[in-house]
Structure 1
Amino acid sequence: MKFFRKAAPVAMLATVALTLGACAQSERDAGTPGATNGGGAASGGTLTFGAAGAPKLFDPFYATDGETFRVTRQMFDGLLQLKPGTADLEPALATDMPTSSDGTTWEFKLREGVKFSDGEAFNAAAVCSNFERMFDQNADAQKGPADYWSYTMGAFKDKAADSLYKSCEAKDETTVVIALNRVSSAWPAMLALPSFSMQSPKALTEGKANDVKAQGEGFVYPANSQNPVGTGPFKFEKYDQANGTVTLARNDDYWGAKAKLDKLVFKIVPDESTRRQELKAGSIQGYDLPNPVDWKGLEDEGNQVLVRPAFNILYMGLNPEKNPKLKDLKVRQALYHALNREQLVQTQLPEGAAVATQFMPDTVAGYNKDLQPYAYDVEKAKSLLKEAGAEGMTLNFAYPTEVSRPYMPNPQKIAEALRTDFEAAGIKVNFTAKPWNGGYLDGIDAGSFDAWIIGWTGDYNAADNFIGTFFKGENNDFHTYVQDWGKTLNDDLVAADSIPDEAERTAAYEKLNQQIMEEYLPGLALTHSPPALVVGPDVEGIVASPMTAEEFNTASVGGK
Structure 2
Amino acid sequence: MKNWFIFISKLCFLTGFFILSGCSPSADDNVHTPGIVYCSEGDPTSFNPQLTTNGTTTDASSYQIYNRLVEYDPALGSIVAALARHWFINEDGTSYTFYLRKNVKFHSNDNFTPTRDFNADDVLFSFNRIIDSTHPYHNVSGGSYPFFQSVGFTDIINKIVKVNDYMIVIHLTEKDASFMANLAANFAIIQSKEYADQLSEQQQQSQIDSHPIGTGPFVLDSYFQNDHIRYKPNQGYWNGTPDIEQLVFDITPKSTNRIAKLMTGDCDISALPQSSEIDIIRQNRKLELQIQTGFNVAYLGFNTERIPFNNPKVRQALSHAINKRAIVEAVYYGSATIADSVLPSLSWAYNDTLQPYEYSPEKAKKLLAEAGYSDGFDMTLWAAPVQRIYNPNAIKTAELIQGQLKLVGVNVNIVTYGWNVFIDKLNDYSYDSVLMGWTADNADPDNFFRPLFSCAALLSGGNRVNWCNDDFDETINQAIASTDEKKRVPYYLAAQQTLNKQVPLIPIAHALRFQVKSRNITGLSLNPYGGISFAKAKRKSANVSDGGAK
Q: Deviations over 1:219-242 (max 9, x none)?
A: xx2367425241x3x242621649
In structure 1, the partner of 2:267 is 284
- Aligned-partner SS, 2:397: helix
Q: Does the 8 Å CA contact 1:115/1:255 hold for their aligned counterparts?
A: yes
Distance across 1 between alignment mates of 2:416 and 2:225: 31
Residue number among 432, 435, 453 corresponding to 1:453 in the alignment: 435
- Looking at structure 2, the residues matched to 198 and 459 of structure 1 have their Cα atoms a distance apart, in angstroms, of 17
**How far 1:53 moved relative to its partner?**
3.8
2:298–2:510 CA contact under 8 A, matched in 1 = yes
- Residue 512 of structure 1 is matched in structure 2 by 495
The answer to whether residue 504 in structure 2 is matched with residue 522 in structure 1 is yes
Q: Determine if the alignment matches structure 1 residue 70 to structure 2 residue 59.
A: yes
CA distance in 2, matches of 1:346, 1:441: 28
Instruction: Assess if the C-alpha contact under 8 Å between 2:129 and 2:137 holds in 1.
Output: no
Equivalent position to 2:117, from 115, 121, 125: 121
The one of 186, 194, 202 equivalent to 1:202 is 194
The 1:142–1:371 alpha-carbon spacing in structure 2 relative to 1, beyond 3 Å, is same
Aligned counterparts of 1:459 and 1:343: Cα–Cα separation in 2 = 29
Partner residue in 2 for 1:429 = 411
SS in 2 for 1:359: coil
Change (3 A) 1:432 1:129: closer
The structural deviation recorded for 1:444 is: 5.6
1:316 maps to what in 2? 300
* Residues 1:226 and 1:547: Cα distance change in structure 2 (over 3 Å): same
Structure 2: unaligned runs, 5 residues or longer: 1-33, 108-113, 543-550
| Alpha-carbon distance in 2 for matches of 1:59, 1:325 | 34
Shift, 1:289, TM fit: 1.6
Q: For residues 448 and 54 of structure 1, what CA distance do their matches in structure 2 show?
A: 23
Mapped contact 1:209–1:224 kept (Cα < 8 A): no
The answer for the alignment partner of 1:90 in structure 2 is: 80
Instruction: Work out whether residues 398 and 414 of structure 2, in 8 Å CA contact, stay in contact via their aligned partners in 1.
Output: no
> Does residue 1:478 correspond to 2:474, yes or no?
no
- Match in the other structure for 1:48: 37
2:524 matches 1:542: yes
CA distance in 2, matches of 1:139, 1:316: 33
Question: How far 1:353 moved relative to its partner?
Answer: 0.4
How big is the shift at 1:514? 1.8
Letter in 1 for 2:465: F
Q: Which amino acid aligns with 1:140?
A: N
CA contact (8 A) 2:70 2:82 kept: yes
Residue type matched to 1:274 in 2? N
1:557 aligned residue:
539
Q: Deviations over 1:26-62 (max 9, x none)?
A: xxxxxxxxxxxxxxxxxxx721222334455545545
Q: Which amino acid aligns with 2:142?
A: K
Q: Is the 8 A contact 2:129 2:138 kept in 1?
A: no
Normalising to structure 1: TM-score of the pair?
0.76
CA distances 1:429-456 after superposition (whole Å, capped 9, x unpaired):
2323232558766776555554442222
226 and 324 in structure 1: CA distance in 2 versus 1, 3 angstrom threshold: closer
Contact 2:292 / 2:513 at 8 angstroms: preserved in 1?
A: yes
Aligned amino acid, residue 314 of structure 1:
A
User: Judging changes above 3 Å, is the alpha-carbon distance between structure 1 residues 237 and 441 closer, same or farther for their aligned structure 2 residues?
Assistant: closer
- The 1:64/1:204 distance shift into structure 2, 3 A limit, reads farther
Q: Which residue of 2 aligns with 1:170?
A: 162
Distance 1:68 1:441 in 2: 12
The correspondence for 1:254, drawn from 222, 234, 237, is 237
Mapped partners of 1:316, 1:224: distance in 2:
32
Shift of 1:285: 0.9
Supply the distance in 2 between the matched residues of 1:399 and 1:237 (Cα, whole angstroms): 33
Q: 1:456 and 1:292 mapped to 2: Cα distance? A: 19
- Which stretch has the larger CA shift, 528-537 or 140-149? 140-149
Q: Is the CA contact 1:350–1:529 (under 8 Å) kept in the aligned structure 2?
A: no
d(CA) in 1 for partners of 2:384, 2:74: 33
User: Compared with structure 1, are the counterparts of its residues 100 and 262 closer, same or farther at alpha carbon in structure 2 (3 Å cutoff)?
Assistant: same
Residue aligning to 1:106 = 96
Instruction: Please state how far the C-alpha of 1:80 moved relative to its aligned partner.
Output: 0.9
SS at match of 1:188: helix
Assess if the C-alpha contact under 8 Å between 1:250 and 1:263 holds in 2. yes
Answer with 175-184 or 113-122: which moved more. Answer: 113-122
**Residue 143 of structure 1 corresponds to which residue in structure 2?**
142
Give secondary structure in 2 for the equivalent of 1:203.
helix
Matched residue, 1:226: 211
| 2:475 and 2:494 in contact (8 A); partners too | no
Contact 1:59 1:228 in 2 (8 A): no
Paired residues of 1:542 and 1:551 also in contact (CA < 8 A): yes
Equivalent pair of 1:322/1:448 in contact (CA under 8 Å): no
Q: What's the offset of the Cα at 1:88? A: 4.5
Post-superposition shift, 1:191? 1.4
Name the counterpart of 1:466. 448
Kindly state the Cα deviation for residue 275 of structure 1 after the two structures are TM-superposed.
2.9
Partner SS, residue 398 of structure 1: strand
**Counterpart Cα distance in 1 of 2:77 and 2:83:** 18
Distance 1:325 1:244 in 2: 40
- The 1:206–1:447 alpha-carbon spacing in structure 2 relative to 1, beyond 3 Å, is closer
- The number of residues matched between the two structures is 493
Q: Provide, for residues 272-299 of structure 1, a one-character-per-residue CA deviation record: whole Å limited to 9, x for no partner.
A: 4433332222222122122322222233
Structure 1 residue matching 2:316: 3-state secondary structure: helix
Secondary structure of residue in 1 paired with 2:242: coil
Give how far 1:379 is off: 4.3
The Cα shift of 1:386 comes to 5.3
Q: Which amino acid aligns with 2:335?
A: G
Q: Percent identity?
A: 25
Q: Contact conserved, 2:42 with 2:386, CA < 8 A, in 1?
A: no
Query: In the alignment, is the contact (CA less than 8 A) between 1:120 and 1:200 conserved in 2?
Result: no
**Cα deviations across residues 345-402 of structure 1 (Å, max 9, x unaligned)?**
1221144301111122234453223335333344444454555564442352413263
For 1:346, the equivalent position in structure 2 comes to: 329
**1:458–1:465 contact (8 Å) kept in structure 2:** yes
* 2-structure distance, mates of 1:315, 1:224: 30
Q: Would the aligned equivalents of 2:55 and 2:531 in 1 still touch at CA under 8 Å?
A: no
User: What does residue 3 of structure 1 align with?
Assistant: none
The CA distance in 2 between the partners of 1:308 and 1:439, in whole Å, is 30
Cα RMSD of the aligned pairs, angstroms, is: 3.6
Deviation of the 1:543 alpha carbon: 0.6
**Shift of the alpha carbon at 1:153?**
4.8
Does the CA-based 8 Å contact 1:79-1:192 persist in structure 2? yes
**1:356 aligned to which of 311, 317, 339:** 339
CA contact under 8 A between 2:123 and 2:190: conserved in structure 1?
A: yes
Q: Distance in 1 between matches of 2:258 and 2:534?
A: 19
Larger RCO (alpha carbons 8 Å, 6+ apart): 1
- TM superposition shift of 1:307: 2.8
Letter in 2 for 1:106: Y
Post-superposition shift, 1:539? 1.5
Q: Is the 8 A contact 1:102 1:500 kept in 2?
A: no
Separation in structure 2 between the aligned mates of residue 172 and residue 552 of structure 1, nearest angstrom: 33
**Which of these residues, 183, 191, 204, is aligned with residue 183 of structure 2?**
191
Whole-Å separation in 2 of the counterparts to 1:414 and 1:394? 20
CA distance in 2, matches of 1:408, 1:272: 13
Question: Which runs of structure 2 are paired with 1:260-271 in the superposition (5 Å)?
Answer: 260-271=243-254
